């Protein structure tokens, strides 16, 4: 929804808002904010609030620290509070003191990808399925990995903290303007999913940033800890961020739909899938950005491990749900909720557009269970593997020019450096599994 700064100012005045949070994210998708009182609203909405960019991971060097927050008035939301001063939040782009876009801003990277799609006549629509765990906290407030239920998919258990917390999360989201479509228990104990309406890519990425913040805050009120860590527990499913993607043309028609095409899909849709598959290994370090992400991408836990697409089953990384017409879409199942949504959306959209530009053929759909195939069978059908760990994923990113271009040089460089630092630290640590396995044996 388009909205001017003056319209945003009027809303803040009419709602008697006392504080405004200027929200942005670092390259890891961590929510950051600068809060200003109502005496500074005019200055804030004019984009004149300055902050120290050198204090934000992945932004700038110390000698280039001054940056400005430029609010997007369309993203203004009132924040529900139990009592006290009224608070609102607005998502911001990060700009340089001369007003030019900051090349290291994750939201700016997605904005560039969206503009590239628009120049080709398309609007990118994204719809997320966001999963998370709710864990109990110790008396001192620190989180555990213990949960309060033994539920599985769609279970209707007696009222417990998880069910109440999930319901309260939905209530807060709706008060903030979300159209929540469904909320339910997921497969693992303590695991939940809340789905909200698809929207244009930039709006959906903003929504995910706000969603994660709301989930964590509401969980704390229930004396629970919410985590978007991909795989906090061994032996159960991890949390994904499945992303439904489609392109609409200038007439408002879904460009992925074609009743006369194979599987009811247009050639453009198949080429988009081809681009996703061609660059999946290259963008994996962005959509699955942590060491822990690759503990989820293993066989046996409903997460993809292979580069393939399907129109029937969920084992490949890309699936075409059984909807056509305006609902035709591609579900990319590999991302996890630890990703920065702006960067993840940017690289997937760039991959799909590259597939369209180069007319990439995704090959026939793989409707068999890939997990039951031998390596020989997978090679015969040209089914590649996703990276097995973060190091392999980062090296694949470094070799993918399309993904790096979508990120932009500053983000790509900072991301690679940060992820390699994580990897070096991880492999140098002695983990409990190693002690248990090797201490007495050797």
What pLDDT, on the 0 to 100 scale, is given for residue 185? 85
Q: Report the pLDDT averaged over residues 371-392.
A: 86
Give 427's pLDDT tier (boundaries 50, 70, 90). very high
Give 439's pLDDT tier (boundaries 50, 70, 90). very high
Give 150's pLDDT tier (boundaries 50, 70, 90). low
The full set of domain ranges for the chain reads 5-102, 112-433
What pLDDT, on the 0 to 100 scale, is given for residue 380? 83
- The CATH code that applies to domain 5-102 is 3.10.20.70
Q: Is 124 exposed, middle or buried (0-12, 13-18, 19+ CB in 10 A)?
A: buried
HEC string for the chain? CCCCHHHHHHHHHHCCCCEEEEEEECCCCCEEEEEEEHHHHHHHHCCCEEEEHHHCCCCCCHHHCEEEEEECHHHCEEECCCCCCCEEEEEEEEECCCCCECCCCHHHHHHHHHHHHHHCCCEEEEEEEEEEEEEEECCCCCECCCCCCCCCCCCCCCCCHHHHHHHHHHHHHHHCCCCEEEEEECCCCCEEEEEECCEEHHHHHHHHHHHHHHHHHHHHHCCEEEECCCCCCCCCCCCCEEEEEEEECCCCCECCECCCCHHHECHHHHHHHHHHHHHHHHHHHHHCCCCCHHHHCCCCCCCCCEECEECCCCCCCEECCCCCHHHCCEEECCCCCCCCHHHHHHHHHHHHHHHHHCCCCCCCCCCCCHHHCCHHHHHHCCCEECCCCHHHHHHHHHCCHHHHHHHCHHHHHHHHHHHHHHHHHHHHCCCHHHHHHHCCCC
Handedness of CA 290, 295, 301, 302 (dihedral sign): positive
- Residue 358 pLDDT > 80: yes
Mean pLDDT of the chain: 90
Q: Report the pLDDT averaged over residues 119-136.
A: 95
Q: Read off the pLDDT of residues 223-247 as tens digits, 9 standing for 90 and up.
A: 999 999 999 999 999 999 999 999 9
What pLDDT, on the 0 to 100 scale, is given for residue 63? 42
Q: Report the pLDDT averaged over residues 280-288.
A: 97
Q: Read off the pLDDT of residues 1-57 as tens digits, 9 standing for 90 and up.
A: 678 888 999 999 999 999 999 999 999 999 988 999 999 999 999 988 888 776 566
Domains 5-102 and 112-433 share a fold: no
- Residue 71 pLDDT > 80: yes
What pLDDT, on the 0 to 100 scale, is given for residue 112? 96
**Cβ(19)–Cβ(35) below 8 Å:** yes
- Residue 64 pLDDT > 60: no
Q: CATH top-level class for 112-433? A: alpha beta
Among the ranges given (97-106, 155-164, 200-209, 423-432), the one the predictor scored with the smallest mean pLDDT: 155-164
- Residue 83 pLDDT > 80: no
- Residue 61 pLDDT > 60: no
Q: Read off the pLDDT of residues 208-224 as tens digits, 9 standing for 90 and up.
A: 999 999 999 999 999 99
Give 141's pLDDT tier (boundaries 50, 70, 90). confident
């Amino acid at each position: 929804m388009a909205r001017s700064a003056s319209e945003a100012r009027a809303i803040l005045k009419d709602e008697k808002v006392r504080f405004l949070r200027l929200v942005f994210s670092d390259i890891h998708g961590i929510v950051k904010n600068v809060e200003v009182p109502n005496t500074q609203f005019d200055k804030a909405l004019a984009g004149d609030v300055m902050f120290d960019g050198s204090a934000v991971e992945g932004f700038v060097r110390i000698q280039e620290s001054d940056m400005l927050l430029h609010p997007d008035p369309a993203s203004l939301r009132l924040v529900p509070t139990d009592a006290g001063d009224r608070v609102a939040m607005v998502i911001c782009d990060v700009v340089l003191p001369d007003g030019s876009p900051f090349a290291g801003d994750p939201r700016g990277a997605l904005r560039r990808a969206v503009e590239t799609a628009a120049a080709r006549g398309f609007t990118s629509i994204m719809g997320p399925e966001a999963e998370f765990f709710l864990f109990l906290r110790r008396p001192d407030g620190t989180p555990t990995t213990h949960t309060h239920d033994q539920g599985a998919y769609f279970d209707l258990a007696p009222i417990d903290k998880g069910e109440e917390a999930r319901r309260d999360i939905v209530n807060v989201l709706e008060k903030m303007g979300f159209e929540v479509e469904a909320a339910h228990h997921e497969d693992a104990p303590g695991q939940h999913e809340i789905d909200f309406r698809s929207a244009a890519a930039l709006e959906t990425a903003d929504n995910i940033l706000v969603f994660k913040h709301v989930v964590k805050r509401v969980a704390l009120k229930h004396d629970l800890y919410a985590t978007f860590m991909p795989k906090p527990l061994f032996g159960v499913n991890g949390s994904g961020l499945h992303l439904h993607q489609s392109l609409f043309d200038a007439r408002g028609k879904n460009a992925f739909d074609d009743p006369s095409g194979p599987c009811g899909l247009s050639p453009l849709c198949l080429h988009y899938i081809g681009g996703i598959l061609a660059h999946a290994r290259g963008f994996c370090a962005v959509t699955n950005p942590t060491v822990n992400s690759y503990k989820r991408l293993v066989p046996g836990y409903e997460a993809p491990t292979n580069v393939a697409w399907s129109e029937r089953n969920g084992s490949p990384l890309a699936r075409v749900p059984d909807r056509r017409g305006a609902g035709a879409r591609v579900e990319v199942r590999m991302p996890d909720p630890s990703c920065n949504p702006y960067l993840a959306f940017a690289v997937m959209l760039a991959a799909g557009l590259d597939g369209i530009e180069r007319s990439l053929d995704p090959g026939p759909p793989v409707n068999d269970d890939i997990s039951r195939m031998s390596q020989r069978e997978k090679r015969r059908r040209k089914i590649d593997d996703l990276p097995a760990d973060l190091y392999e994923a980062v090296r694949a990113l470094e070799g993918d020019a399309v993904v790096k271009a979508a990120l932009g040089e500053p983000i790509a460089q900072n991301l690679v450096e940060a992820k390699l630092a994580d990897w070096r630290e991880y492999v140098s640590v002695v983990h409990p599994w190693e002690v248990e396995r090797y201490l007495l044996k050797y």
